[in-house]
DNA sequence: CGGAAGTGGAACACATCTGTTCCACACCGG
DNA sequence: CCGGTGTGGAACAGATGTGTTCCACTTCCG
């Protein structure tokens, strides 16, 4: 479903759609093989209703991917990546992305999503990370030995680690994020 | 199946069992939802034979977990963790674990395994990592701000990143490992 | 040769998930 | 009140994976 079609939905339908997508993130991040029935139940709607919005499982996955992409780009927007040094900007991006919570787990664990939609080619935020690292290389604020793609991978897996750390160990989200940022900063320092 | 029971197997049965376990790692690391038929085919045996060795899917998963645990502890053994400084020992451990390849992806992506068997309580290598970091804290070779559990999480996700990086980007395994080690060293330095 | 070990394939019943259809119900604005 | 919108449940057929049984085949060793 395109955003143009979505814009024509009534408020009620938009709310229901939102509830299903949110429930899907929660449920699928715990168990990527969860059935549509489980997702519908978590969303508080009937399985029939879910099928009304997403005729097939793949349709749900597709829209989930688009939705995630949107949220990530919004986070990148909020991080004001052009401001300050590259490491500072990456730190802010990390903070914003961390707020995505369960969505991180889903994106990270299930390559299904990152393959569909606009994910295959570089997304806006992915490109932004690459450019940030390259600019950091030029002005000497980022370790020149680290390729941009590695830093990108690193950032995502640190986020994953941090969220996992916050979930399993007895630490607050703030502490986990703090460790994540500290580790990222030290890793990329020249 | 206990190792005592396994010891009684004939050489033929041991080979077949090994082939199935290896194929399971390869196939499941790519797609954790792969059917038993897929695994049997990859192992070059009939589905009937697979069921003869692992009556239920859960039995295969259980043995897969035990096998992984064994390999990890072997890797820790080879790394001689008592030798040299804590960061050096962690680096060597990282190198050994990296050789596990696809198994890394499987362990990391599917919490199924890490929950069963002896995984729930600290494994030998997990405990070793914790102790290494603590000793590094005492002699000032490891950043005192980083809890042992975080370093442990970090090590695993760096390994995951490195293997992924080697698979998707156009870099050799050696280069990926090199980046992994460099990043680990910088991260944990005091 | 003859039997044991190991194997593969066919067929089966069973469970689960999926996608669909149909119908009844609740809500709300005109 | 009435008709549109949104919904949930029941029921269905189809697909897929699972676990089992049975039988024929090969290999190898005594």
Q: What is the pLDDT of residue B46?
A: 97
Helices B57-78 & B124-138, crossing angle to 10 degrees? 40
Q: Give a yes or no: residue B86 inside a domain.
A: yes
Q: Give a yes or no: residue A60 inside a domain.
A: no
Total domains in chain A come to 2
A173 and A117, same domain (yes or no): yes
Residue-number span of the structural domain to which B90 is assigned: 65-188
A18 and A74, same domain (yes or no): no
Q: What is the pLDDT of residue B111?
A: 72
Query: Which residue has 């490891």 as its token pair?
Result: B142
User: What is the mean pLDDT of the segment spanning A107-123?
Assistant: 74
Q: How far is C-alpha A126 from the geometric centre of its chain's CA atoms?
A: 11
CB atoms within 10 A of CB B10: 8
- Residue A181: pLDDT above 90? yes
Q: Which long-range contacts (CB under 8 A, 24 or more apart) does A103-106 make?
A: A103/A25, A103/A29, A103/A68, A103/A71, A104/A159, A104/A160, A104/A163, A105/A29, A105/A160, A105/A163, A105/A164, A106/A25, A106/A28, A106/A29, A106/A32, A106/A64, A106/A68
d(CA A104, CA B34): 24
State the pLDDT confidence band at A9, using cuts at 50, 70 and 90: confident
Residue B139: helix, strand or coil by DSSP?
A: coil
User: What is the mean pLDDT of the segment spanning B131-149?
Assistant: 97
Q: Give a yes or no: residue B18 inside a domain.
A: yes
Q: What is the pLDDT of residue B117?
A: 62
- Residue B1: pLDDT above 50? no
- CATH number reported for the structural domain that contains residue B183 in this entry: 1.10.357.10
Assess A31–B contact: CB distance below 8 Å, yes or no: no
State the pLDDT confidence band at A4, using cuts at 50, 70 and 90: very low
Distance B14 CA to D23 C1' (A): 25
Residue A46 CB in 7 A reach of strand D: yes
Taking only the tens place, the pLDDT of each residue in B53-96 is 999 999 999 999 999 999 999 999 999 999 999 999 999 999 99
Residue A33: helix, strand or coil by DSSP?
A: coil
Q: What is the pLDDT of residue B116?
A: 67
Domain final residue, candidates B34, B55, B76: B55
Residue A172: helix, strand or coil by DSSP?
A: coil
HEC letters along A135-160 = HHHHCCCCCCCCCHHHHHHHHHHHHH
- Residue A119: pLDDT above 90? no
d(CA B179, CA B169): 13
User: What is the mean pLDDT of the segment spanning A55-66?
Assistant: 95
- CATH number reported for the structural domain that contains residue B22 in this entry: 1.10.10
Distance A75 CA to D21 C1' (A): 58
A45 and A82, same domain (yes or no): no
State the pLDDT confidence band at B40, using cuts at 50, 70 and 90: very high
Q: Give a yes or no: residue B21 inside a domain.
A: yes
A89 and A177, same domain (yes or no): yes
> Residue A152 contacts by C-beta under 8 Å, 6 or more apart in sequence?
A126, A129, A130, A133
- Residue A1: pLDDT above 70? no
Q: What is the pLDDT of residue B165?
A: 94
Share the mean pLDDT of chain B. Answer: 91
Q: Give a yes or no: residue A73 inside a domain.
A: yes
Q: In chain B, which among 127-146 make CB contacts under 8 A with chain A?
A: 143, 145-146
- Residue A114: pLDDT above 90? no
d(CA A43, CA A9): 19
Residue A13 CB in 7 A reach of strand D: yes
d(CA A87, CA A106): 26
Task: Provide φ and ψ at B172, rounded to 5°.
Answer: -75, 160
B20 and B84, same domain (yes or no): no
User: What is the mean pLDDT of the segment spanning A55-79?
Assistant: 95
**DSSP state for residue A84 in the 8-state scheme:** S
Distance B4 CA to D29 C1' (A): 26
Taking only the tens place, the pLDDT of each residue in A122-158 is 788 889 999 999 999 999 999 999 999 999 999 999 9
Q: How far is C-alpha B104 from the geometric centre of its chain's CA atoms?
A: 5
Taking only the tens place, the pLDDT of each residue in B85-112 is 999 999 999 999 999 999 999 988 877 7
Region of B34 (left: φ > 0; alpha: ψ -120 to 50; beta: rest) is beta
Q: What is the pLDDT of residue A169?
A: 77
User: What is the mean pLDDT of the segment spanning B17-40?
Assistant: 97
A167 and A83, same domain (yes or no): yes
Q: What is the pLDDT of residue B123?
A: 82
B101 and B123, same domain (yes or no): yes
Q: Give a yes or no: residue A152 inside a domain.
A: yes
Residue A184: helix, strand or coil by DSSP?
A: helix
Q: Is the dihedral of CA A164, A167, A173, A175 positive or negative?
A: negative
A38 and A83, same domain (yes or no): no
A33 and A87, same domain (yes or no): no
Q: Give a yes or no: residue A128 inside a domain.
A: yes
B183 and A157 in contact by Cβ < 8 A?
no
Q: What is the pLDDT of residue A2?
A: 47
Instruction: Measure CA to C1' and name the residue nearest D7.
Output: A49
Nearest to B136 by CA among B114, B160, B121, B152: B152
A21 and A102, same domain (yes or no): no
A145 and B182 in contact by Cβ < 8 A?
yes
B32 and B77, same domain (yes or no): no
Q: Give a yes or no: residue B60 inside a domain.
A: no
B92 and B136, same domain (yes or no): yes
User: What is the mean pLDDT of the segment spanning A54-80?
Assistant: 95
């Amino acid at each position: 479903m395109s955003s143009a079609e979505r814009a024509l939905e009534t408020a009620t339908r938009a709310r229901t759609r939102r509830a299903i997508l949110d429930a899907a993130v929660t449920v699928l991040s715990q168990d990527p093989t969860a059935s549509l029935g489980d997702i519908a139940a978590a969303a508080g709607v009937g399985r029939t209703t879910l099928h009304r919005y997403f005729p097939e499982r793949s349709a749900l996955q597709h829209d989930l991917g688009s939705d995630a992409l949107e949220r990530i780009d919004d986070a990148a927007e909020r991080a004001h990546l052009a401001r300050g040094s590259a490491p500072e900007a990456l730190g802010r991006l990390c903070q914003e992305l961390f707020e995505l919570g369960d969505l991180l787990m889903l994106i990270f664990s299930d390559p299904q999503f990152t393959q569909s939609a606009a994910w295959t080619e570089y997304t806006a935020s992915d490109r932004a990370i690459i450019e940030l690292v390259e600019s950091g290389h030029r002005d000497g604020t980022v370790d020149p030995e680290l390729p941009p793609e590695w830093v990108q991978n690193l950032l995502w897996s640190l986020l994953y680690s941090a969220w996992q750390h916050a979930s399993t160990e007895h630490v607050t989200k703030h502490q986990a994020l703090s460790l994540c940022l500290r580790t990222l900063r030290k890793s990329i320092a020249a």
